[in-house]
A and B are shown apart, each in its own frame.
Chain A
Amino acid sequence: MSLEVQSLSVTLSGRPIVREASLSVAGGECVGLVGPNGAGKTSLLRAIVGAAPKVGGAISVGGVSLVDLKPKERARRIAYLPQDHHLEWALGARDVVALGRTPYLGAFGARTAQCDSVIDASMKSVHVDALDGQPFSTLSGGEKARVLLARALAVCAPVLLADEPVAALDPYHQLQVMEILKSRAQAGDAVLVVLHDLNLAARFLDRVILMSDGRIIDDGPPHDVLTKDAMENVYKVTPLSGDADGETWLIPWRRLKSD
């Protein structure tokens, strides 16, 4: 199923944050949403999942408009992994992952056996099955990030939105999380991920959507979008880039002197 967003705008306290953004992510695609701080990436994701008020615009998944769906039905179609790792109570790791099944529970409903197998599979796919009953607060940053990713995967939605899932992770776990996201796309999901690490974006993503100042200014394969010009104009940095093992690497190298 594909995600379609048409001319979506977000305004916070009268200030336009996202302006007329249109994008689409097809099933099987792993797409990056990149841009400098304040470009409106997080607000765009939040508006798509209904966690921030949008003004105007239309969102559909698999051709069905989200406006026509009840909150639970919408939640079954789009999984959302927010940036922050804060958890309120001292829940165990498995209980956190189980929260991903919320859209399938009735008002007073209990979890079913099928639920348990989905939770098991989600935890296994991100290698946190050994953590099970560990209190979430005692986990390391990398473990927390993967437990929360497992939580998002447990929703079993055809669309996955992830907001900086590799921020605060060490290189090993950054690569691991990117591989997991990529494999979800290869399994048929539409994956849209906000990234600040442009090297990971260049290497792992099928397509990159570049945002600046609330607008989408470019959309295409990484090497077409993350050009030297774009880096200098949008990010105000000059990059270094090259090829290794048939893949492109890209490093922001020097800040442009402010004009």
Chain B
Amino acid sequence: MASPGTSPLLRLGRTALAGLLPLLGAGCLSISLEGGKDGVSGTLVGLHKLEPGRTTLRDALQHLGPPTLLLRSGETDRLYYVSWDGLNFKLAISAPVPFPGRSLSTDAFILGLGSEELRLARLEFDRKGILRDLQSGTFGSSSQGQYFAIDNRVVETFLEDRARALSMTDQDDDDDYDLELKQVPKK
């Protein structure tokens, strides 16, 4: 029902304008909400079954399943179990930059908010395959990406070990290649 003094044409115009506003803003306004998940969060539930000094590598694999990362570190074999999930919100307003012949824009305002959660467990086994050290925790992060854990050395060590494991894989490939070269019979 039309309010007094409002013509149907004017109402139609208002409705059309309301519908067009988002389209008009499409080029310079964006709102995004991104969620992500990696790995099974329930893996660490079995941690309470492990006991340093008694648990073997075989027990650990049986209770927790395959680790996310496995590597040799000094006189220990180190296993990591990791799962992650996060939610990020971003609001960006960009403005067009007048430049003849080109389409350019610049971000005038960006608001980014987010939360991430990393669940991590580190298990260290000795040469005999006996669990010597066990550390675990849930680490939250701010939107700046800085982990504010009680002891974030665990996270830092994990990141270092992961980088090392990747380089070790490359190194191993080289070793294999060298081995293959040595096995070629001399003519």
Please say whether chains A and B are actual partners in one complex.
Answer: no
- A interface vs B, CB < 8 Å? none
